[in-house]
Structure 1
Amino acid sequence: MIMFFEEVFRNLSSWGLPTLVLLLGVVEFSLGLYKHHWNTNEKLLDIACFTLPKLVIRPLTTYYTLQFLPYVLGDYKNAFDWVPFWWGFAIIAVADDLTQYWYHRLHHEVPFLWRFHRTHHSAPYMGMAMASRQNVIYTMFFSQTYLTAVLVFLGLGYPALFVRGIKSLITTLAHSSIPWDKPFYENRWLHPVAWVLERLISTPATHHAHHADTTDDGVGHYKGNFGNMFFLWDVIFGTGLITRQYPKSYGISHYQQEEWYAQFMWPILKSKKEGSELAKNGPMVKEDEKASLPVSAPVITTGSLYGEPELKVM
């Protein structure tokens, strides 16, 4: 069993991560963590979003990007293969995740872009099944796919794929319905570790807050906590909320259980639900989603290593 998991982590960028997601998904499902929320429509949407991008969209996008690059960067093929692995890893991790932070944030703050990202937030639950739940257009223009292809062409393939594997692992676990970070908050001797961990990477507590359907409880924070692999960007740009608590409910307050194909393929296919953001002539953004994040957003953090809250404006 130990050897099996060693192989899984050694091959995260290929078959390892899908295998890990499947195993953890089985655990979530068997424990009943999705409860009554995972109906047929949600299952079909999660399955489509998980399989089609991995089997069709991203492979084709990567293939054609690699075919196109020689025409624009022909003289730079393998130009950076001299860069040491760990330097390449560090540079790529920062560049890749910072790019995605802004890609993600803009889809929340620009009304026109919201509907392309809305699918990821419509799930009334958290779990492995919805970690890759995205509209097809959002997936096609996802920056990481193109950046990875370019870096492979430039000779930084190994560090780029390693970053992709580690990042996918962190973001998938942050979406998990299993609160693996809870022991760090409940055990006082682990508080110093928790203080660093929750500011460095996305955890279930911080990312679940981003998927909450309300901000009224002081835990939900869908107007922030945009970080994917690194929560550090939210700390730097003042969009983070750290409470060490988990929201009571998730999703979008005005969710109409839009058809799975409309959520996956909008605007190619539209919902038949009247008044939906995904319906023909539907509103771009419904009223309770219009509020944009202020420039200087309050960040509630655990002010000491022992969990006393402190309010800061970044």
Structure 2
Amino acid sequence: MTTTVKTPSRAILRDSLISILLYTLPIGLMFLSFYISGSKPWLQASSEHLGFRAPAFVEAVFNNLKTWGLPAIMVVVGIVEFSVGFYENKWTKNERTLDIVCFILPKVVLRPMIAYFGLKLLPFILPDAKNIFAWVPFWWGFAIMAVADDLTQYWYHRLHHQLPLLWRFHRTHHSAPYMGMAMTSRQNIIYTAFFSQIYLTVALTYLGLGYPALFVGGIKSLITTAAHSSIKWDKPFYTIRWLNPIGWVMERLISTPATHHAHHADTSDDGVGYYKGNFGNMFFIWDLIFGTGIITRQYPAAYGLKHYKEEEWYAQLLWPIFKSKKEGSELAQNGPVVGGEEEEAPAPVVVQPVAAIVRAEAV
């Protein structure tokens, strides 16, 4: 698998300008709706609230997704995957240690620490801005947060594939020769520490969009976790006729096992794998807009890196602080950037902007 993809700077500039329009779209639509309705909610004294009546347990579920809820779901599904042999003999001691540490460290230490210190620091940087946007109606706040969070992560993810300088910070996530709950959080610690949307979410929460951030974060966690699962839960939507219309919309809107597994394939030569694209996390629609996606409704035969040398778990977690001792590894001292392989010319975009090509039915 050739891991990084060269992209002309002109294409990145073009897509960046499109992104600016996408970031501002929900805000513009919100004010347009205010203009049409004649409402001016920013003039009303208000505090942050859901804006609709929701059962207490619904809010509790989304609150707990960021604490014990999502980890509990991942552990249960992971046990199911393991018990039916999805990991086969690929989950070695080294892989298991890496997956477990990457699962615990960000959730227990890193992300809570960033959120805590961020919310402590922001009052000094923006002393008069706390809850300044609390007047924003919940659903508009939800739309603004969903675009801001996921489009930012799309770019963070995409650039780590397309810029060789950044690739090795993301490589750990792609080294797993399997898909499943175990590797969902598998990332280099520096990649996680600079996860741009963490800071964005903290800032917008301080500004008064905490509830939208809570629900966006919960829904996104469920979608991205399900997309990494080795359980092909989306397959019935392609094989059962009356579910086909739902499947057609779903695979273009959000990440599914078929589209995201393609991103983790060890090759693109089979017409199914597409590690050069399918960068979307919660929303797959970004890949359609920017022409970086492919939809085949099939699943790769193999995952990971063809030049993977099973580097030590600590090197994958903490590179470049700790380097691998494996000769020829990208993570070794003075190691090659892309496993010693020559970069191939970028292939033509498979999915044209705002249009996906379904090249094969599910098998």
- 1:83–1:249: structure 2 CA closer, same or farther, 3 Å change rule? same
Asked if residue 212 in structure 1 is aligned to residue 268 in structure 2, the reply is: no
Aligned position for 1:143: 196
| Residue segments in structure 2 that go unaligned for 5+ positions in a row | 1-56
Structure 2: how far apart are the matches of 1:65 and 1:207? Answer: 31
CA contact (8 A) 1:128 1:172 kept: yes
SS at match of 2:186: coil
Aligned position for 2:319: 266
Asked if residue 190 in structure 1 is aligned to residue 246 in structure 2, the reply is: no
Deviations 1:50-84 (A, max 9, x none): 00111111111111111221122111111011111
Asked if residue 167 in structure 1 is aligned to residue 250 in structure 2, the reply is: no
CA contact (8 A) 1:111 1:290 kept: no
CA contact (8 A) 1:121 1:211 kept: yes
Asked if residue 19 in structure 1 is aligned to residue 72 in structure 2, the reply is: yes
Structure 2 counterpart of 1:58, which letter? Answer: R
Asked if residue 80 in structure 1 is aligned to residue 136 in structure 2, the reply is: no
Deviations 1:2-28 (A, max 9, x none): xx9996466323321111111111111
Q: Which TM-score applies when normalising by structure 2?
A: 0.80
Aligned position for 1:312: none
Structure 1 counterpart of 2:349, which letter? Answer: A
CA radius of gyration, larger in: 2
| Residue segments in structure 1 that go unaligned for 5+ positions in a row | 309-314
Structure 2 counterpart of 1:226, which letter? Answer: F
Asked if residue 301 in structure 1 is aligned to residue 354 in structure 2, the reply is: no
Deviations 1:111-137 (A, max 9, x none): 000000000000000001101100000
Structure 1 counterpart of 2:200, which letter? Answer: L
Asked if residue 180 in structure 1 is aligned to residue 233 in structure 2, the reply is: yes
Aligned position for 1:231: 284
Structure 2: how far apart are the matches of 1:289 and 1:197? Answer: 36
Asked if residue 156 in structure 1 is aligned to residue 191 in structure 2, the reply is: no
Q: Offset of 1:31 from its aligned partner?
A: 1.0
Structure 1: how far apart are the matches of 2:176 and 2:58? Answer: 30
Structure 1 counterpart of 2:142, which letter? Answer: F
Structure 1: how far apart are the matches of 2:343 and 2:280? Answer: 21
Structure 1 counterpart of 2:313, which letter? Answer: W
- 1:289–1:238: structure 2 CA closer, same or farther, 3 Å change rule? farther
Structure 2 counterpart of 1:301, which letter? Answer: I
Structure 2: how far apart are the matches of 1:291 and 1:58? Answer: 36
Structure 1 counterpart of 2:159, which letter? Answer: L
Aligned position for 2:19: none
Deviations 1:86-131 (A, max 9, x none): 1111110011100100100000000000000000000000001101
Aligned position for 2:103: 50
Q: Which has the higher contact order (CA 8 A, sep 6+)?
A: 2
Q: CA RMSD in A?
A: 2.1
* More displaced 10-residue stretch of structure 1: 169-178 or 150-159: 150-159
Deviations 1:187-222 (A, max 9, x none): 111111111000000000000000000001000000
Percentage identity across paired residues of the two chains = 69
Q: Offset of 1:227 from its aligned partner?
A: 0.2
Structure 2 counterpart of 1:38, which letter? Answer: W
